[in-house]
Amino acid sequence: MEELREILCGGQSFSWLDEGDCFAAVLNGRVYRVRSADDFRSDSFLYDYFDFDFDYAEARRVIAAKDSVLASAVAAYPQLRILRQDPWIALISFILSQNNNIKRITGLYHKLCRAYGREVEPGWWAFPTPQELSRATEQELKELKVGFRDKYILDAVDKSYLLDGIGELDYESAKRRLMGIKGIGEKVANCVLLFGCHRMEAFPVDVWIRKVLERYYPGRDLSYFEPYPALCQQYLFSYARNLGLD
């Protein structure tokens, strides 16, 4: 199970909970329970979600050859990958992520599920659709402790139509469209495009990545991380957050 922890609970998804003997999440209208990467191969939805068709072995080879920092990150997380998540779930998840930590984001995510989502199994609720979340009021969201993000969530609900066809746009146009939602800046838009639309040219820069770039890549353009910028970013994020970079 340890091979899955950083992938499922390391900051790119907030759907998964550690149940001790498995990781569990409500996705695609049902509860999934997984213990190893092999469990993702046995279901067509999970197979796509886990992105098995992408050549991660080649990507890791290229990334590890770039420099010693990335080589160490790849060695530390040899199975790391980018999940293919639902754009709507990613949109609200990364609105919740602003000025927040993974534990609290996950808690808020599941509060929204319980308050507005559909119960698919006793004690397990799906993430609310835009229609379901439109029932929420600003006061109710405040009571759920989402903080200043309440107005952003409500605006995202009102503008959920902006996700329609977003995968057909070029990257910059897609990013600008997302930034038309209240409270969404460059970093959150990049996260939504990466984790919700699988735009592998994304390179979200948060506090961890900014520190890494300043310390180890001063003056370097982000083009240095091509042809796998998104995966480089995720490796650097996981390595810096969990192990530190000397």
| Residues catalogued as catalytic | 187
Q: Is 212 in contact with 240 (CB distance < 8 Å)?
A: yes
Q: Do the bridges between strand 119-121 and strand 124-125 make them parallel or antiparallel, or are there none, so unpaired?
A: antiparallel
Q: Is 166 in contact with 177 (CB distance < 8 Å)?
A: yes
Q: Is 204 in contact with 190 (CB distance < 8 Å)?
A: yes
Q: Which long-range contacts (CB under 8 A, 24 or more apart) does 140-143 make?
A: 140/115
> Measuring CA to CA, which residue among 140, 145, 134 is closest to residue 108?
145
Distance of CA 229 to the CA centre of its chain: 15
Q: How far apart are CA 93 and CA 199, in angstroms?
A: 17
